[in-house]
Amino acid sequence: MLVRDVKNPRPDRRVSHDWRSQTQWLAGMRFKTTTFRVDDEITLLSFYNGRYTFQDFIADKAPAGLVDALEPVQATVDEELEMLGALGYKSEAIDLLIEQRIITREQLIDACKAAHDAEVAE
């Protein structure tokens, strides 16, 4: 999570839907970091605003001050599922849980029905 506001060194006021173009990134913005190795270790910063997912900055090439203003926080299960869904992995993850017999299809259906019933009862 971004713990303080960071001024964007390259804002673009012509673009309104892209967080990378904002004049300032505000404290509280949540990012996901993903580290992997090819030849060297690379860390990607992903930002999800509830509608679009952006995975653009390699951490060591991110704008000045952005990485320094990030502080790790534990994502909630809902946030993780929302991000995975936006990236197109949610259904694959569920299929994998069923395939590896961690949960059954019936357990998944029962859990979905219970969640729906709880929401309707509110």
Q: Let me know if residue 48 belongs to a domain.
A: yes
Q: How far apart are CA 105 and CA 88, in angstroms?
A: 20
- Range(s) of the domain holding residue 50: 1-73
Residue 84 lies in a domain: no
29 found inside a domain: yes
Residue 43: inside a domain: yes
Is there a domain that residue 53 lies in? yes
Per-residue pLDDT tens over the stretch 3-32: 999 999 889 989 877 788 889 989 988 877
pLDDT of residue 121: 83
| Model confidence at 69: pLDDT above 70 | yes
Q: How many domains does the chain have?
A: 1
Q: Is residue 17 part of a domain?
A: yes
**pTM as predicted:** 0.56
Residue 87 lies in a domain: no
Query: What pLDDT, on a 0 to 100 scale, did the predictor assign at position 5?
Result: 95
112 in a structural domain: no
Phi, psi torsion values for 90, nearest 5 degrees: -60, -50
Rounded CA separation 43/61 (Å): 10
